[in-house]
Amino acid sequence: MLKEGVILGERYEIISRIGSGGMADVYKAKDHKLNRMVAVKVLKPEFREDKTFIRKFRTEAQAAAGLSHPNIVNVYDVGEDRGVYYIVMELVEGITLKDYIDRKGKLSVKEATSIAIQVSLGLEAAHNRNIVHRDVKPQNIIISTDGKVKLSDFGIAKATSSNTISSNVMGSVHYSSPEQVRGGYSDYKSDIYSLGITMYEMVTGRVPFDGDTTVAIAIKHLQEEIESPSKYTPNLPFALEQIILKCTQKSPDRRYNNMAELIDDLKHSLMEPQGNFVKVTPLSSHAETVMVSAEELSQIRSGAAAKANAQTAEEPAGLYQEFQELRLAMLSHYEEEWTTENLCQMANMEKSQFYSYYKQFFSSTPHSDLIEVRLDKAKNLLTNQALSIGQTAEICGFSNLSHFSRYFKRHCGCSPREWQQQGGRKTQNMR
C-alpha cells in the first residue's frame, strides 16, 4: 500500500486509496504536470514478479490508452517507478454497477436498458479498434455522479489470461463466456456474453450461475442451460428477455454478430417492449455445442502429452493453458475414473512435477477439485430427483458408498440422507 504524498513518475502525487481489487489498489492522485486529479491503479506485488505478465500488461494498457469514448474510463498513462507498475486513468466520481445493484436489488427495465446501451457503445468503440475487453462485469462498470456510464479496465484481462497466477483473479468467473473458462480463444463475442450476464444480473438481482467454488461455476457456464430471467422477474418485457438470452448463448455463433446489432435491438426494445423481433439462430442448425464432448476429451487425452512436451519447465505461463484444458476436461467428465497415473501421463510429467504445477496454477489438487464438483452435483440430485443414495453416488462418480457418505458429511455438515429428507435445507451447515 502506497503512503499519502508518494510521487510516482515524478508527476503523480498519491492523495488517498479509493479502492482495491484482486489485481491492484486504486488511488486518487494529483497530476502535477497537467494540474488535474486522476486515478492511479497500482499492481499488487504478486503481479509484479512475472515478467511475461508485466510485458503483456503494459502492451495492452498502452493499446487501451488509444481509446477515447464517453462510455470508457480513459487511460492516460502507463508507467513504472522503483518496481511499482501503474496505470493512470480518468478519475470518475461515482459508484460501480455492482454496488448499485446491491443497493437496489433489481434495476428497472428502462434503467437497465440505458446502462446496457451505454456499455455497448463503449464496447463498440473498442471493438472497432480491435480491442477486446475480456472482463466485462458490474465491478468494471462505473456510474458517475452525473449519470454517465463508463467501462473500465480494458486490456488487463488479456494480460492476465495466460499468467500463472490468473486463478487469483477468478472472481470474474460469474461473467466469463464458455470459451473463456475452457481456456480457448476469446474475442468480441465473449464481451457480448459477459454483457448478457451483466444484464441478467441488473434485471434479476442475481447471476445465473453460482456455486461454492470457481470450478463449479465454470462447469455451469459450460454445461448448464441458463434459466430465463423472467423466472425471477415475472414482469420482464419479452424483448429484453430475448436479448439477454441471445447474448448468453453458449455457442458464440448464436450470439449477436457485433455490438451494433445489439445496440439496435436494445433501442428497439424501449419502443416495442413485447415485440418479437430478436432473431436467434435455431440450435438445430448447429452441429455441436460448446460443451466438452467425448471426442474432445479423447483428443485431450491423446494429445495433451505431446503439447505439454513442447513446453519447457521454464515456461509455466505456457503450461497454464494446457493444464487448464486438462482440468476442465476432467471436471466436465467428473463421473469418470481419473487416476493420478492417467493425469500425469496426459501432462507428460512425473507425479511430483505435475502436482507442483497444478497447485501453483489452481491452489488445489485434482482430487479436491473432483470431490467439490461431484458433491455439488450430488446435492442437486438429492434435492431435486427421486434417486436413492446409492444411485446418486454412482452417477456422481463415487464407486464406494461409504466414501461418498463420509465426503458428503465432511463438506456439507450432514449425511446424504439428512440432506435429502430436508430438501437441501442444510445449507447453513456447509463450510
Domain range list for the chain = 7-90, 94-285, 294-326+339-356, 369-429
- Grade residue 229 by pLDDT with cuts at 50, 70 and 90: very high
277 versus 129: which is more confidently predicted? 277
Largest Cα–Cα separation, the chain: 71
- Give the angle 246-111-195 at the CA atoms, nearest 5°: 35
Give CA–CA dist 222/37, Å, rounded: 43
Check: CB of residue 378 under 8 Å from CB of residue 391: no
- If you search the block for the grid coordinates 515456461, which residue do you land on? 315
Handedness of CA 297, 300, 303, 304 (dihedral sign): negative
**Which pLDDT value is given to residue 398?**
87
**Which pLDDT value is given to residue 426?**
47
Taking only the tens place, the pLDDT of each residue in 193-220 is 999 999 999 999 999 999 877 778 888 8
Give CA–CA dist 401/394, Å, rounded: 8
**Which pLDDT value is given to residue 369?**
84
Domain 94-285 and domain 369-429 have a common topology: no
**pLDDT for 307 beyond 70:** no
Active site residue 212: no
Window from 103-112, 115-124, 379-388 with minimum mean pLDDT? 379-388
Of 240, 264, 260, give the one whose Cα is nearest residue 113.
240
**pLDDT for 107 beyond 60:** yes
Check: CB of residue 158 under 8 Å from CB of residue 190: no
Beta bridge partners of 411: none
- Give the angle 173-179-182 at the CA atoms, nearest 5°: 70
Give CA–CA dist 29/4, Å, rounded: 9
Q: Which three cell numbers stand for residue 15?
A: 492523495
**Which pLDDT value is given to residue 36?**
95
Give CA–CA dist 361/384, Å, rounded: 34
Considering the candidates 77, 135, 153, 376, report the single residue annotated as catalytic.
Answer: 135
**Which pLDDT value is given to residue 219?**
84
Q: Is domain 369-429 annotated with CATH 1.10.10.60? A: yes
Q: Which three cell numbers stand for residue 61?
A: 494498457
| Domain 94-285, CATH | 1.10.510.10
**Which pLDDT value is given to residue 306?**
42
Q: Which region, left, alpha or beta, applies to residue 153 given φ > 0 means left and ψ of -120 to 50 means alpha?
A: left
Which architecture does CATH list for 7-90?
2-Layer Sandwich (3.30)
**Which pLDDT value is given to residue 202?**
97
**Which pLDDT value is given to residue 319?**
74
149 versus 156: which is more confidently predicted? 149
Taking only the tens place, the pLDDT of each residue in 230-287 is 999 999 999 999 999 999 999 888 999 999 999 999 999 999 999 999 988 765 444 3
